[in-house]
Structure formats: C-alpha cells, structure tokens
Amino acid sequence: MQPVAFHQTIADGSSVAEAVKATGLRDPLLDSPALLGVTMPFEKGEEIYGESEKAECIYKVLAGAVRTYNILQDGRRQIGGFYLPGDLFGLEADERYSMSAEAVVNANILVIRRKAIATASQRDPRIMGMLLSSTARELNRARNHALLLVKTAQERVASFLLEMASRLPGDTVELPMCRQDIADYLGLTIETVSRTLTQLGNLRAIEIPSSRRIILRNPKALAQLNS
Amino acid sequence: MQPVAFHQTIADGSSVAEAVKATGLRDPLLDSPALLGVTMPFEKGEEIYGESEKAECIYKVLAGAVRTYNILQDGRRQIGGFYLPGDLFGLEADERYSMSAEAVVNANILVIRRKAIATASQRDPRIMGMLLSSTARELNRARNHALLLVKTAQERVASFLLEMASRLPGDTVELPMCRQDIADYLGLTIETVSRTLTQLGNLRAIEIPSSRRIILRNPKALAQLNS
DNA sequence: CGGCGCCTTGAACCAAGTCAAGCTCTGTGG
DNA sequence: CCACAGAGCTTGACTTGGTTCAAGGCGCCG
C-alpha cells in the first residue's frame, strides 16, 4: 500500500456506522474513529500490504474478508489466517510485515497508523492493554493454526469448518474464500480439500448445497473426527 | 505448579547474576528481580505449568531449556516451542494456559506473577510495551512454526537446526532435547528425523559427532534445502 | 448458447508413517 | 575394571494418506 493512500478519504458515509456495529462499544481503538484511523475500500484480490514493507499501520476489518500469506521458496503459498469483520490484522513484532495481506472479497478496512496509536496511548493507557490482548489473541490463533497442520486431512477440514461457523453469523456457513484459499490455509491440495468435503457430506456431518455454502448437520461429529 | 512454590526461595546465590547475564540490561522486567519475581529450579522432565491451569505467572528461562506442548485427542504430543536462556514463556491471551510447560533439562526459571507486573506497569509504563513486544515476538515464532509444518521433512529438520544454531551459543549445536522432542516439534516421527539427519550428514551439510552434538558444515546449503 | 473459472472425481505415484530389528551409548553393580 | 541392563537412536522393509496428473462437470456471465 502506498503512503499516499492516507491522504484519501472515502465518500462512503456508512463506514463509521459500520465500524461501530462491527466492533462494539468496548474497543478504545475506535472510540474516536476520525481521530485514529480512516476507512478504506479494497477490491477482491487487492493487496493491502506486502511482506517486508514497513509496518506503519494496523488494520481492522469492517466488512468483507482478508487473508494473510507467505510465498515459500518453491512458489507455494501458505495462508496464515483469514480475518473477518471485527478482526484486527497487521500486528507485528518487527518494523516490517512478516506476511502479505489481500482482500478475499471486496472489503472495507479501517487503517490506523501506529504512530497515532502510540500518541493516543499516552493519553489513555488502556489502549496499550487492548493492543496487548489483541496480540495475545492473535498468538493463540497462530498456535491453533500450527496444531491444525499436524492433523489428518479430515480433521483439518472439520476444524476449519467449525472455526468458520463460530466466526461467521448464521448457522449455514457462507465461505468468502475459494477452495484454493482453504487448501493453502490447511496445508493441503485443492483436490484433497474437495474430496474431504465430499466425504464429510457422505458421512452426513455436513451438507453442501453449493460450493461456497455449507451446512453443519452434525457439529459434534465434526469435533469428534480427531484423527 | 502449586501456589506453595512461591514461598520457596533457592539457596543458589548465583541466580541473580545468572539472570542479569542471561537477559542483558535493556529488560525492565528484571530491573529489580527481588521485587518482581523469584528464581526456581526445575528438574529435567518436571512440569512447570499444565494446560488449562490459571495463568497467574509468566516465566523467564535463566538456565536450561523448556518445552511447551499440547496433547492431541489421539494421544500424540505436539510441541509448540523450545525456550532457552533469556526467553520468556507463559504469555497468554486468556486467563488459562493453552499449553503445558516442562523442563527439557534441569533449569532455573524466573517466575513472575502477573499481578506484580500489572502493579509495576502502573509505575513504569515501559513495562507494558516490553510485554507487548515479547508477545509480538512470540507471535512471530508461532507463525514461523506454522510455516515449518507445511514443508518437507528435509526442510523442517534443516530449519530446526538453523534456528537452534542461531539461538544457542557456539558453532557446534549442543541440543538439549532428545529426538522425540524434535519429532514432536516438527510434526514428524522420530524415525523420519533420524533418517533425515543421517541424510543431511551424507550430503555434507552437517556432521554428527554424537547424537546430541551437531556441527553445521554448510549452513547455506541447509538454508537452500527448501523443498 | 458458448466460454471460462472453479470445483469434483479418478488413477497412479511417492514421501513419510509403521512395524520390527539391531546398534550405541551411559550408568550401575559385581 | 568389566558385564550388563536400559534408554535412546538408527536402519531396513513394507504400508498408506495425500499429492500429482489428467479428465470432466457445474454454474455464471456475456
């Protein structure tokens, strides 16, 4: 993302309301949105930041979905996580991003300069605590992701579906991402993901009315499918 | 770990000096060790805390080595990380630990109550920032671990050796952990780890004078072995 | 209606797992 | 000082879950 982007503002008057809705009240990072960040739209597939760029901002998904990823030396892509409305991403230890970030579908993103956070946290020390707890939650996510990657294909897909079901609204899961994204998140091939979904359907654990829409018929069975 | 443990003190007069040596000067968490934490010895294999216990402390390795791990439903153990002198562990998002921690070898650990940190951070706001950066570094570690787990066996072992070489002193790597620990960290079997080490030896990338001592003959070749 | 993404399915292959010996240290007791 | 027991590590032969390669189906949009 170019620095110039920060001079942009968007004409979408609904974004502030959207932010409040997506984030709830108990989030000091958004107490004064105009002060701390700007809302920006990203198109499906558009890059939000690239690996090893300077990490000058953190981001919050207001609408849509985002993926972070690394490209390995052999060209394979490993997706580190999916971020849905309400989620923060771009939290980094170093001064540079360790992954790239892209919009999975059209998305509205709240962009917050780290410097603004540093300044604001002098006024309100709770902001630091909030950042810390967000980072610790992200740490938990990363650890769970690592745990996923040592399980069988069935378990990985089942865990993925359960995770998505818990993070998305509604009881039928509407996946924002394609099979390739799922495969790259789970460390499997697209064929294995497809086969495994079919298989879970045959077991009556799930139902697949269309490729992006999945109904969890028997979540307990899914949770039990541990290798 | 039992709460009673906090009433213990150790008779090892060198521990404070050890702490200063291991951690360096720029670490406010240790500016007044007597105030913030106590040093405790753990024997090889001894549990430091268990998964889902209340997370009341964070820990710093002064000497020795520690592993954190989860036991999966099928009984397999996944090691989340190894912690060496100077490393913090036990950082958690929730009020309970998400993994267990054990001493890999006899170890001296600085135990710091979270409440003490909370109190101290009111006096010195830099402490909060230090905790945040430690947590963010741990996040990076977890992400790199997840990246490891999608690579080939050769790559996983090579990355492991390079990581250990960079974190341990000296140019021949003295591994504190056994093959089973390595296998559970890399998501492989002990046989595959063993075979892969032999293979890297045959490639002249490493030399294995004894099973716990490994010399990196050609670190660049190791780094290049990416799948 | 035709073309193009995206997804599913089938068949053959292979990297890592499993099972089963056997080897090598290390510490202990005679 | 040596014998021996046991844990930890290595090696070999076979099996298997997931990948690869290849073909075909589905659905959406022009």
Comparing alpha-carbon positions, the chain B residue that sits nearest to A226 is: B73
Can you give the distance from the CA of residue A156 to the C1' of nucleotide D17 in angstroms?
Answer: 14
What pLDDT shows up at residue B36? Answer: 74
What pLDDT shows up at residue B33? Answer: 52
Q: What's the whole-number average pLDDT of chain B?
A: 87
Residues B109-154: tens digit of each pLDDT = 999 999 999 998 888 888 999 999 999 999 999 999 999 999 999 9
Residues B9-51: tens digit of each pLDDT = 333 334 444 444 444 444 555 555 556 789 999 999 999 999 9
What values do phi and psi take at B44, rounded to 5? Answer: -45, 125
Output the pTM of the full model: 0.89
What pLDDT shows up at residue B32? Answer: 52
Can you give the distance from the CA of residue B97 to the C1' of nucleotide C27 in angstroms?
Answer: 37
A198 CB less than 7 Å from any atom of strand C: yes
- DSSP secondary structure letter of residue A95: S
Residues A121-136: tens digit of each pLDDT = 888 888 999 999 999 9
pLDDT for A107 beyond 90: yes
Q: What's the whole-number average pLDDT of chain A?
A: 87
Residue A143: is it exposed, middle or buried by C-beta count within 10 angstroms (0-12/13-18/19+)? buried
Lowest mean pLDDT among A96-100, B169-173, B204-208: B169-173
Average pLDDT over residues B41-70: 97
In this prediction, what percent of chain A has a pLDDT beyond 70?
84
Comparing alpha-carbon positions, the chain B residue that sits nearest to A97 is: B140
A77 CB less than 7 Å from any atom of strand C: no
Look at residue A85 and give its three-state secondary structure: coil
Positions on chain D within 7 A of a protein C-beta: 8-13, 17-22, 27-28
In this prediction, what percent of chain B has a pLDDT beyond 90?
74
Lowest mean pLDDT among A23-27, A217-221, B70-74, B96-100: A23-27
Name the minimum distance, in Å, from the CA of B59 to any CA of chain A: 16
Average pLDDT over residues B210-227: 90
Positions on chain C within 7 A of a protein C-beta: 6-11, 15-20, 25-26
| Contact at CB, B227 and A129, closer than 8 angstroms | no
Residues A135-194: tens digit of each pLDDT = 999 999 999 999 999 999 999 999 999 999 999 988 899 999 999 999 999 999 999 999
Q: How far is residue A74 from each of residues A70, B57, B70, B152, B227, measured CA to CA in Å?
A: 11, 41, 30, 11, 7
Can you give the distance from the CA of residue B197 to the C1' of nucleotide C13 in angstroms?
Answer: 25
Cα B69–B154–B159 angle (5° rounding)?
A: 55
